[in-house]
A = this chain, B = another copy of it.
Amino acid sequence: MGTGFTLWLTGLSGAGKTTIGDIVGAELTRRGCRVEHLDGDVVREHLSAGLDFSRADRDANVERIGWLAARLTRHGAAVIVSSISPYEAARQRSRAMVEEFGPFVEVYVSASLEECAKRDPKGLYEQALAGKIPHFTGVSDPYEPPESPEIALETASEPPESSARRVLESLDELELVETAVAA
């Protein structure tokens, strides 16, 4: 059983978390890692139905993901989390849970509100900026950028393939992939 790890992508809706996570996950799978991609929307459906977007429920959602990521890390998975996870404290609690069992690599997927609103892949920014969505991160709800992420990406200035390559290079530098694959 190899050393698992958790790659945690945080950032605004539309910043590119899921896209980059998918590319990184595909490459890690190609290299022989057992990948588990926990996407925020999917986790909400399976684990957090009924939770809303208040601070308390957002924190509960993020901590459930952290608890799950910790368990999967323990069992040797290359866990990729794509979750807005807007609050530093909840991310730190997730880090602490994961680090009981393996490395936690926080990736700040950064793009300006203007850039994300321009992409608006789910049509949500239009509604949020029109005041129709309470608790929308970046518009009507806060986003706390990571204080010391292992990796910071600026997705307005580079395509997702380049961002993913930089993430993979960082994982190589940390020698995480080799350890997981050698398992």
Contact = CB atoms under 8 A, between A and B. Distances in A.
Contacts of A34: 1, 74-76
A72 interface: yes
A36 B74 contact: yes
A71 B72 contact: yes
Contacts of A4: 75
A49 interface: yes
Contact of A1 (B2, B47, B50, B71): B2
Interface string A56-83: 0000100110011001101111000000
A46 interface: yes
A174 interface: no
Contact of A76 (B67, B71, B76): B76
A129 interface: no
5 contacts: A1-B76, A34-B74, A36-B71, A72-B72, A72-B75
Contacts of A72: 71-72, 75
A183 interface: yes
Interface in A1-51: 1-2, 4, 34, 36, 46-47, 49-51
A13 to B, nearest CB: 24
A1 B183 CA distance: 7
Contacts of A183: 1
